[in-house]
Structure 1
Amino acid sequence: MAADDTTAPVPPSPWERERPARDRVSTARAPLTRERVVEAAFTVLDRQGLDGLSMRQVAGELGVTVSALYAHVSSKDDLLELMYTRLFDDFAIPEPDRERWEEQLRDFARSVRRRLLSHRDMARISMGHVPFTAELLPHVESLLALFRAAGLPDRIAAEAGDLISTYVDGFVLEEGIWQDRAARQAGDDDPSLSRPDWREMAGEMQDYFAALPAADFPHLRALSGLMVMDSSDDRFDIGLEIILRGLASYLPDQGAGAPDA
């Protein structure tokens, strides 16, 4: 949503940290900016993962001293927050459409997943980040507007955004874990070069479930041919559909069958 020119500035939230002024320049030979620090951090993150990301590694990537970074970021936590915010710089949620709210939510969730997958371990960073900064509040506001325009009760609308975000974060986190595991097994230093063989894994699991004792595991045997059979994209969409149908059950036009809010 475009902000009105007369809109008052958003007050700082309790989660925001003190940062140096944006225009400060370090004394390093090459001009150092906050944007360059964030880009270097993404490079280190993709190469070494969150556990290997440190201020020292970022400084090394830029060819500066660690102290030079502190003219632009106050701490590693501050840097992670800036990275998360940067990921959604050009993100936009469309104007709410009551007739298309489910489609709009599908597009929202898929877009967030794509962005989280664009850099290694971003789901882990996302799960430790509170999205109520001045830069991200407009996205939260637009998402709530979408829920309310759909007709969801306020109590459900207030929780739905967190529910969907948690689902996306958790799904992408699992994808990252399996990708890292595939990289280790292949001996690749860069996990982006490795992809788990989902088809092979699915076949092994299906065969295993189908061979379980029928008396003890009747349901696993009965559903063995359907377990883990889909691609990550399909699995994501099925899970998202379950959530959306649950939200739809709270709409007023569902009548007496709708669960209590």
Structure 2
Amino acid sequence: MPVDPERRRAARHAQPAVSPERQPRRKPPITVTRITDAALEVVATQGYDALTMRSVAAVLDTGPASLYAHVVNKADIDELIIGRLCSQLVLPEPDPATWRAQILDVCAQIRDQYLRYPGVSRAALAMVATNLDVLRVNEGMLAILLAGGIEPQTAAWAIDALALYVSAYALESSLVAQRQSHQGDEWVVGRDELVSRFAALPADRFPQIRRYAAELTSGTGHERFDFTLGTIVDNLTRRRPAAEAAVGSK
């Protein structure tokens, strides 16, 4: 015998409603975006060394196995986080008149993104660029150098050299900061102490280091960063194309 719809509706309405406090909370679904967010949170708060599938899963309040439906492995997460940082960069319209300042600004932006996440540049050092956001930056840097009249082969290798130095600089900065956070670490010394140690070296074996101790220890990290990148960029226009160099060597 079919149930009267009116009775069915009445019975449903008669059931006690579950209060909002007692309703089970549904976890938001795991997505690539949330995995990337969680990975960056781990790096920002604990450093890159702490980044594992398990630590990312812990931030998401799930198990590592649930991540594999969205990412392949830890290397995949590395690519995602570097891609995310690259997506934050502002790339200028290449200008032949200001190409030098433009390329240096892009490098400084990359540096600053890496410094926000201690040790994250290690992921960039070990990565072959296939992520579209990373390739967008490479495309932009290449366009800037070509607009400045840099020969294509030189421009291609310059991008690699610049990226390598920026990553190494950021990694060194994170390692220094990590050591400085450990009070009493004898490997961390100030400039005055370093000058004193250099001055105490045997004069017959280290005359130049003793004499130029002040110069060797001068400058902030960012000043040295600007010097190195400026030196690289200023020499790009002085390089002869590879074909001309080969002819000249014969």
Quick check: 1:131–1:137 contact (8 Å CA) kept in 2?
yes
Residue identity (%): 32
Q: Specify the SS of the correspondent of 2:182.
A: helix
Q: In the alignment, which of 82, 88, 94 is matched to residue 80 of structure 2?
A: 82
Higher alpha-carbon deviation: 153-162 or 48-57: 48-57
Matched, 1:210 2:208: no
Residue 81 of structure 1: how far off its partner (Å):
0.9
Matched, 1:241 2:230: yes
Measured in 1, the distance between the counterparts of 2:49 and 2:89 equals 27
Q: Please say which structure displays the higher CA radius of gyration.
A: 2
Measured in 2, the distance between the counterparts of 1:182 and 1:164 equals 27
Per the alignment, residue 21 of structure 1 pairs with none
Measured in 2, the distance between the counterparts of 1:133 and 1:61 equals 24
Q: In the alignment, which of 88, 91, 105 is matched to residue 89 of structure 2?
A: 91
Quick check: 1:151–1:251 contact (8 Å CA) kept in 2?
no
Structure 2 CA distance for partners of 1:251 and 1:115, relative to 1, 3 Å:
farther
Per the alignment, residue 13 of structure 2 pairs with none
Q: In the alignment, which of 125, 136, 139 is matched to residue 137 of structure 2?
A: 139
Q: In the alignment, which of 217, 240, 244 is matched to residue 228 of structure 1?
A: 217
Measured in 2, the distance between the counterparts of 1:215 and 1:80 equals 49
Matches within 5 A, 1:1-261: 29-185=27-183, 201-250=190-239
Structure 2 CA distance for partners of 1:138 and 1:42, relative to 1, 3 Å:
closer
Measured in 1, the distance between the counterparts of 2:112 and 2:56 equals 25
Quick check: 2:38–2:59 contact (8 Å CA) kept in 1?
yes
Listed one character per residue, the Cα deviations across residues 118-160 of structure 1 (whole Å, up to 9, x for unaligned) are 1121111110112233332222122111111111122211211
Note the residue ranges of structure 2 that are not aligned, 5 or more in a row: 1-25, 242-247
Q: Which runs of 4+ in 1 moved over 3 A?
A: none
Residue 212 of structure 1: how far off its partner (Å):
2.2
CA-atom RMSD in angstroms: 2.5
Measured in 2, the distance between the counterparts of 1:41 and 1:142 equals 26
Measured in 2, the distance between the counterparts of 1:134 and 1:167 equals 22
Measured in 1, the distance between the counterparts of 2:149 and 2:99 equals 10
Quick check: 2:53–2:74 contact (8 Å CA) kept in 1?
yes
Measured in 2, the distance between the counterparts of 1:212 and 1:57 equals 46
Q: Specify the SS of the correspondent of 1:29.
A: coil
State the TM-score, normalizing by the size of structure 2. 0.79
Listed one character per residue, the Cα deviations across residues 205-256 of structure 1 (whole Å, up to 9, x for unaligned) are 112222323332221122111122211111111111221222232379xxxx
Measured in 2, the distance between the counterparts of 1:87 and 1:119 equals 10
